[in-house]
Amino acid sequence: MFGRLRAWSRRHPRITDALWLVPFLLFSLQNVMSAGVGSTAWEGAGLDVWWFAGLGVLLFAPLFWLRERPLTVFTIISMTCFLQWLLGVQPLFFNVSVLIALYGVASRRSLRWAVGAGLVVELGLLLAFLQSPPSEAAFGAAFASASAFSGTVWMGGIYANTRRRYLEGLEERAERAERERDQQARLAAAAERARIARELHDVVAHNVSVMIVQADGANHVIGHDAEQARQAMQAVSATGRRALAEMRRMVGVLRDDGVQGEYAPQPSLSQLNELVAQVRASGLPVDLRVSGVPRELPEGEQLTVYRIVQEALTNTLKHGGPASRAWVEMEYGVRELLLRVTDDGRGASAPEREGGHGLVGMRERVAMFGGSLEARPEAGGGFRVVARLPIGAGAEQAA
């Protein structure tokens, strides 16, 4: 309930101020008039009841703008109290408005302004006691009590100011943390989209390229070699099924309904021979050579090597031209794995190989493991892809 009232008061500050200022003003006027009618203090000042009513309104009316302009309101009320002192009118009940204005300055402005407002109030108290001093014995106690009361109001404003700034700091940090969390989520989503795009490109481009080559071969020999055409179409069918299985696996990874399924594992170096055999069956002669002492690689690096070979051979199928050949070389070193995929196809005469997602995806994959990749057409024809991946101690240093 109190939370709802506080929220309502924040939404309607004017109404909230009126709900306590107007009754307080009426009570102050009633108190002053009932205590001051016929008093010598009023007659000595040559003022009537309407002047005092106007003085009360002048002291309380600025408080309606205390939230927006605390310094201006405090200045107006302080000057009004000083004018009252110059006219020789003793302090009255509605002079408490100066303490309300003091609280507003202390709770809404910097400490420098709060100290200045507190000193002004102390000076006003001293002038008021000097104007009509009590007995000499009671002067010190009365002034100390009044100063202690105004100091309590001042300290209350300082505390409210500190607490408000603390809560604002907490809200700002919470908002900043939420923005950073959303930004991290967007970055993670972008990275995941890039990874999925690479996977889709590698799977779809390779398998579709193989299917196109096989279909073209079948179409070429269907008139005079039905058996070879049948084998080519069988290869198209098998390649399509593999592509569909990998597509289903990737779509299954994206499912978020909590249903667990069994999906094929990610390709690894153990399937590299199968990949080369598949490309050979598509009509592209490929030589695979492995040198050095084979090392056990993490699954991520194995997948990277597999995808680079797959993408490079797919590019040769698409752009190398007829009668081209390809060579895949893997060299295990002490600190790095050197992978070379070359062909003797059209090379520089196929500029489209420089663009697209394929080469970008290969570079991104290698960069994730601190490696490097170079892809360029050869001067005498053909295309070369060279990747270097750190392994063992080299991988630890790259991490």
Q: What is the predicted pLDDT for the residue at 278?
A: 86
Lowest-pLDDT range of 50-59, 282-291, 325-334: 50-59
332: confidence class by pLDDT, cuts 50, 70, 90: very high
The answer to whether residue 210 scores a pLDDT higher than 50 is yes
Across 310-338, average pLDDT: 88
| Residue of 218, 241, 377 lying closest to 312 (CA atoms) | 377
Q: What is the predicted pLDDT for the residue at 215?
A: 79
Nearest 5°: phi and psi at 326? -140, 150
Q: What is the predicted pLDDT for the residue at 37?
A: 45
pLDDT, greater one: 19 or 312: 312
pLDDT tens readout for residues 120-175 = 999 888 888 887 766 666 777 788 888 888 889 999 999 989 988 888 888 888 88
Q: What is the predicted pLDDT for the residue at 2?
A: 56
Q: What is the predicted pLDDT for the residue at 13?
A: 67
Q: If you ran DSSP here, which 8-state letter would residue 217 be given?
A: H
pLDDT, greater one: 364 or 349: 364
b or e along 188-207 (b: 16 or more beta carbons within 10 Å of the residue's beta carbon)?
eeeeeeeeeebbebbbebbb
Across 197-212, average pLDDT: 71
Say how many C-beta atoms besides its own lie within 10 A of residue 166's C-beta.
10
* Dihedral over alpha carbons 15, 20, 26, 27 (to 10 degrees): 170
- Of these ranges, 9-18, 126-135, 374-383, the one predicted with the greatest mean pLDDT is 374-383
Q: According to DSSP H, which parts of the chain are helical?
A: 2-11, 13-36, 40-45, 49-60, 70-86, 97-108, 111-131, 136-221, 226-254, 272-281, 299-319, 356-368, 393-398
**Residues 297, 305: Cα–Cα separation, whole Å:** 10
- Of these ranges, 46-60, 89-103, 132-146, 369-383, the one predicted with the greatest mean pLDDT is 369-383
Q: What is the predicted pLDDT for the residue at 350?
A: 47
pLDDT, greater one: 246 or 320: 320
Contacts 24+ apart (CB under 8 A), 165-171: none
The answer to whether residue 36 scores a pLDDT higher than 70 is no
**Residues 350, 321: Cα–Cα separation, whole Å:** 9
pLDDT, greater one: 30 or 60: 60
- Of these ranges, 182-186, 260-264, 272-276, the one predicted with the greatest mean pLDDT is 272-276
pLDDT, greater one: 153 or 55: 153
Q: What is the predicted pLDDT for the residue at 357?
A: 62
Percent of the chain at pLDDT above 70?
73
Which pair of tokens denotes residue 51?
């002047």
Q: Which domains can be identified in the chain, with CATH numbers?
A: 2-132 (no CATH), 285-399 (3.30.565.10)
Lowest-pLDDT range of 56-70, 129-143, 287-301, 311-325: 129-143
b or e along 358-392 (b: 16 or more beta carbons within 10 Å of the residue's beta carbon)?
bbebbbbbbeebbbebebebeeebbbbbbbbbbbb
Q: What is the predicted pLDDT for the residue at 145?
A: 85
Q: What is the predicted pLDDT for the residue at 329?
A: 94
Across 246-274, average pLDDT: 66
Q: What is the predicted pLDDT for the residue at 155?
A: 92
Q: What is the predicted pLDDT for the residue at 159?
A: 92
Which pair of tokens denotes residue 165?
């700034």
The answer to whether residue 338 scores a pLDDT higher than 90 is yes
Residue recorded with tokens 């006003």: 124
| Residue of 309, 321, 276 lying closest to 385 (CA atoms) | 309
pLDDT tens readout for residues 173-192 = 888 888 888 888 788 777 77
Q: What is the predicted pLDDT for the residue at 291?
A: 92
Contact between residue 139 and residue 127 where contact means Cβ atoms under 8 Å apart: no
> Strand, helix or coil at 373?
strand
289: confidence class by pLDDT, cuts 50, 70, 90: very high
* Dihedral over alpha carbons 267, 268, 272, 274 (to 10 degrees): -50
Contact between residue 134 and residue 142 where contact means Cβ atoms under 8 Å apart: yes
